[in-house]
C-alpha cells in the first residue's frame, strides 16, 4: 500500500516533474491478430520496453513496462496480440491509459484495426492520441504520403472527442526509431515522440472538474468523526470543503485529509486519501463522495454510445452486467437509435450490433447508477457490458445523458399488495415456467396442471406461447432479437399476475438461458419454478402435430428452435420431466408437491 500511495502522490498535478503517465501502444500495422513479419517489433516493445527502468515488469494479460525521460516516468502498456482474449486486454489497457500511441505503417495506411483502437480509446476516456507513422524510409520519407495519412486520421478520429491528435513520422518500429527524431525529414518541424509525451498535461481535465472520490473503505473513528478511504477520480478537495455522499445525498464536510497517515491540505485526482468527515453518515463501499455544489447525476435509464466487442451479436432486451466505476448492475439495451458506419460515419438503421460495430443505444439498469456526462469524469462515464454467463466483456460505452423518463416516473405505492391479495385467495402465488422444444408436451402438461389446480379451488392463469402471439406479441417474429423481447414481455405479465396473487403457468419454448434467468430474477425467492419438459428432438419431430418441423427441414420456416436456432436446456431446473420415462400425470403430481 505504501508504494501505491507514493506513486499516486508523485502523479499529482502539483508534482509535474515526477508524474507517471500511462501510455498504451496499439499495433495498427496489420489487420491480422498476429503477423509474423512484425515479430521483431513485438519482441522489441515487449521485452525492451523502451528503456525499461531497473528491469521492472508487470503482466496483467498485457505487457506493462517502465521507462523514464528527463521529465517524467512512463508505464508502457501493450495489449498482447497473441492472447486469445486480445480484445479484453485492449480494453484493460485502455481503461488505465492516459494516452495512446497508434503504430501505423506508411506503406499500408490506416487499417480497420487502427480505427477500432481509436474507438476503444475514445470510449474509455483517453484524450491524447499519437499516430506514430513508421516505415517512412520505405516510402522515401515522402511528405505527401505522411500528410495524406494525417488527413485520413483527422477524418475519422477528429470527432471522437480527443483533446488532441498528433501524428509523428518515424523511420521504423524498433525502440531507437520510436525514440529519436529522424534527421532526414527536414519538412517535419514537429516534436519527436518523447518530446511530445513530455509536454502532455494528462491531468488538466481531472483537476478542472468538480471533486469526485470513489469510496473503497469506511472506517468509523468514533462517535464524533468518520473516516473514509478511497481514490480521488476528478477535481481537488481541501479540509473544510462541503461534500455530498451519493447515492444517499447526505451533505457533510471534510474535517481532515490524510495520505499515508500524514495530514495534507489538498488532495488531487489520482491520490489515495482518507477523509475524516465532521458528521458521521451511512456510507457504503462503492459510494461516491462529491462536491456538494456540483454532484454527479443518478439515473437508471440512459442514452449512450456503445461499441460491441463480441462475436455474438448484441440483442436488445437481453440482460447483461454493466460495470461503471465500482458498481456492477444488470442492464438491458432497450433500443438502438442507429449504427455508425465505421468508414463514413453515416448513421444507419439496425436492429442489433455485431462484432466491432458502434451505435447509439438506450440502456435500462436494474438499479440506479451514479454517473457524469462525457468530459466530466472518466470513471463515472465509461462503462463495460459483460455477458452474464461467460463473464466476458462484450461491449464498452460512454453515457451521454440520462433519459428524461428516468426521473419523471416513480413507483406508486398502494394499500393492497401481493400479500393481501394472496391471503384473500388462500394460496401462495407462484410462477411455474415450462420450457422445452416445440412438441415436447409443455402445453399438454400445463393444461392438465391448471385443471387440477382449478379442481382444488386455486386461482390460476395459463400463458401459452402461441396464444400470446395473437395479441400482446403479435408484432414479433422468431429472430433471436424478437424471441428475447417475447420472453421479456411475458415475464413482466407473469410478474403482474403473481403480484395479483395468482398461480401463473407459463408455457413457452423460451430457448435461451439468459432470458429464463432474467424471468426468474423478477420474482421473489421460491416464487419461480422452472419445469424442463425434456423430449428429444427426434421424438418432437415424430409428433409434429402442426407440421412445423417438416417446414423447417425443407427451408420454408426459418429460425426454428432445434433446427436452425439453438435451444439451451436448463442446467438446474426445479422440475425435470423426461417425457419418455414419466407420464404427464406423474409429472403433475411432482409439481403439485412443490406448490403446497
Catalytically annotated residue among 46, 382, 507, 510: 510
β-strand pairing of 393-402 with 358-371: unpaired
Residue spans of beta strands (DSSP E) within 436-484? 460-464
Task: Find out whether 437 is annotated in a ligand binding site.
Answer: yes
Closest listed residue to residue 395, CA positions, set 312, 279, 478: 312
| Cα angle 380, 386, 391; round to 5 | 135
Distance, CA of 441 to CA of 595 (rounded, Å): 20
Cα–Cα separations (whole angstroms), residue 466 to 175, 259, 321, 513:
65, 64, 31, 20
Task: State the cell numbers at 206.
Answer: 481531472
Task: Quote the CA–CA distance of 422 and 198 in Å, as a whole number.
Answer: 69
The cell for 309 is: 466487442
Cα 288 to chain centroid, rounded: 20
DSSP 8-class letter at 44? I
Backbone angles phi, psi at 369, to 5 degrees: -120, 145
* Residue among 117, 113, 128 nearest 93 (CA): 117
- 290 within 8 A of 213, measured Cβ to Cβ: yes
**Is 442 assigned a ligand-binding role in the annotation?**
yes
* Burial (CB count within 10 angstroms: exposed 0-12, middle 13-18, buried 19+), residue 29: buried
Positive/negative CA dihedral, 277, 278, 284, 287: negative
Whether 333 and 362 have beta carbons less than 8 Å apart is answered as yes
Distance CA 69, CA 17 (A): 10
Number of H helices, E strands in the chain: 17, 26
- 439 labeled part of a ligand binding site: yes
Is 395 annotated to bind a ligand? Reply is no
3 state DSSP class of 550: helix
443 annotated ligand binder:
yes
In this structure, are residues 219 and 249 in contact, taking their beta carbons and an 8 Å threshold?
Answer: no
**What is the DSSP secondary-structure string of 283-344?**
--TT-EEEETTSPPEEEEEEEEEEEE-SSSPB-TT-EEEEEETTEEEEEEEEEEEEEE-TTT
User: How is the chain split among helix, strand and coil, in percent rounded to 5?
Assistant: 30, 30, 40
C-alpha cell at position 368? 440506479
- Per the CB < 8 A criterion, the answer to whether 427 and 498 are in contact is no
Task: Name the one residue in this structure whose C-alpha cell is 419461480.
Answer: 528
Q: Does the annotation list 227 as a binding residue?
A: no
63 in Cβ contact with 49 (< 8 Å): yes
Angle at 173 between CA 171 and CA 176, to 5 degrees: 75
> DSSP character for 46?
I
Supply the DSSP symbol for 33. S
Report the alpha-carbon distance of residue 355 to residue 395 in Å, rounded.
9
Is position 510 annotated as part of the catalytic site?
yes
CA distance 64 to 79: 9
Known binding-site positions: 436-443
**Which residues are tagged catalytic?**
510
Query: Residues forming the annotated binding site for ATP?
Result: 436-443
Amino acid at each position: 500500500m505504501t508504494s501505491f500511495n507514493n506513486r499516486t502522490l508523485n502523479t499529482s498535478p502539483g508534482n509535474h516533474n515526477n508524474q507517471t503517465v500511462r501510455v498504451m501502444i496499439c499495433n495498427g500495422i496489420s489487420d491480422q491478430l498476429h503477423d509474423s513479419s512484425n515479430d521483431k517489433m513485438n519482441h522489441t516493445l515487449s521485452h525492451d520496453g523502451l528503456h525499461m527502468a531497473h528491469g521492472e515488469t508487470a503482466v496483467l494479460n498485457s505487457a506493462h513496462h517502465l521507462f523514464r525521460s528527463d521529465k517524467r516516468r512512463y508505464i508502457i502498456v501493450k495489449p498482447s496480440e497473441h492472447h486469445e482474449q486480445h480484445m479484453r486486454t485492449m480494453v484493460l489497457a485502455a481503461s488505465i491509459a492516459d494516452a495512446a500511441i497508434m503504430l501505423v505503417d506508411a506503406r499500408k495506411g490506416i487499417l480497420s484495426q487502427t480505427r477500432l483502437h481509436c474507438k476503444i480509446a475514445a470510449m474509455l476516456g483517453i484524450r491524447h492520441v499519437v499516430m506514430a507513422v513508421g516505415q517512412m524510409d520505405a516510402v522515401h520519407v515522402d511528405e505527401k504520403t505522411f500528410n495524406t495519412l494525417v488527413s485520413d486520421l483527422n477524418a475519422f478520429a477528429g470527432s471522437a472527442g480527443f483533446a488532441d491528435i498528433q501524428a509523428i513520422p518515424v523511420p521504423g518500429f524498433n525502440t531507437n526509431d520510436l525514440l529519436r527524431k529522424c534527421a532526414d525529414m527536414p519538412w517535419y518541424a514537429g516534436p519527436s515522440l518523447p518530446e511530445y509525451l513530455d509536454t502532455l498535461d494528462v491531468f488538466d481535465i481531472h483537476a478542472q472538474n468538480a471533486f469526485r472520490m470513489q469510496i473503497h473503505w469506511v472506517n468509523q473513528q468514533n462517535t464524533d468523526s468518520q473516516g473514509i478511504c478511497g481514490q480521488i477520480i476528478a477535481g481537488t478537495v481541501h479540509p473544510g470543503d462541503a461534500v455530498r455522499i451519493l447515492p444517499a445525498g447526505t451533505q457533510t464536510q471534510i474535517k481532515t485529509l490524510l495520505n499515508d497517515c500524514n495530514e495534507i491540505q489538498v488532495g488531487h485526482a489520482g491520490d489515495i486519501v482518507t477523509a475524516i468527515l465532521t458528521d458521521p453518515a451511512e456510507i457504503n463501499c462503492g459510494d461516491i463522495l462529491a462536491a456538494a455544489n456540483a454532484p454527479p447525476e443518478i439515473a437508471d435509464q440512459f442514452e449512450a454510445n456503445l461499441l460491441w466487442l463480441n462475436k455474438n451479436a448484441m440483442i436488445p432486451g437481453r440482460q447483461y452486467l454493466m460495470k461503471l466505476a465500482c458498481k456492477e448492475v444488470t442492464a438491458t439495451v432497450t433500443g438502438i437509435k442507429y449504427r455508425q458506419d465505421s468508414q463514413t460515419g453515416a448513421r444507419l438503421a439496425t436492429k442489433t450490433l455485431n462484432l466491432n460495430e458502434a451505435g447509439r443505444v438506450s440502456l435500462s439498469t436494474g438499479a440506479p447508477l451514479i454517473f457524469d456526462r462525457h468530459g466530466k469524469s472518466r470513471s463515472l462515464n465509461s462503462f463495460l457490458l459483460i455477458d452474464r454467463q461467460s463473464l466476458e466483456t462484450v461491449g464498452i460505452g460512454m453515457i451521454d445523458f440520462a433519459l428524461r423518463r428516468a426521473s419523471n416516473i416513480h413507483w406508486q405505492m398502494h394499500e393492497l399488495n401481493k400479500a393481501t391479495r394472496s391471503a384473500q385467495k388462500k394460496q401462495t402465488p407462484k410462477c411455474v415456467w415450462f420450457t422445452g422444444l416445440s412438441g415436447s408436451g409443455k402445453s399438454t402438461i400445463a393444461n392438465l396442471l391448471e385443471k387440477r389446480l382449478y379442481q382444488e379451488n386455486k386461482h390460476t392463469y395459463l400463458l401459452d406461447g402461441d396464444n400470446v402471439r395473437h395479441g400482446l406479441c403479435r408484432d414479433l417474429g422468431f429472430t433471436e432479437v424478437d424471441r428475447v423481447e417475447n420472453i421479456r414481455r411475458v415475464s413482466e405479465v407473469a410478474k403482474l399476475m403473481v403480484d395479483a396473487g395468482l398461480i401463473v403457468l407459463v408455457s413457452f419454448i423460451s430457448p435461451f438461458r439468459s432470458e429464463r434467468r432474467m424471468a426468474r430474477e423478477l420474482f421473489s425467492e421460491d416464487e419461480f419454478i422452472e419445469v424442463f419438459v425434456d423430449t428429444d428432438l427426434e421424438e418432437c419431430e415424430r409428433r409434429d402435430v402442426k407440421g412445423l418441423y417438416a417446414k423447417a427441414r425443407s427451408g420454408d420456416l426459418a429460425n426454428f428452435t432445434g433446427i436452425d436456432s439453438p435451444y439451451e436446456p436448463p442446467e438446474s431446473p426445479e422440475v425435470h420431466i423426461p417425457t419418455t420415462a414419466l407420464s404427464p400425470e406423474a409429472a403433475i403430481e411432482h409439481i403439485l408437491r412443490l406448490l403446497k
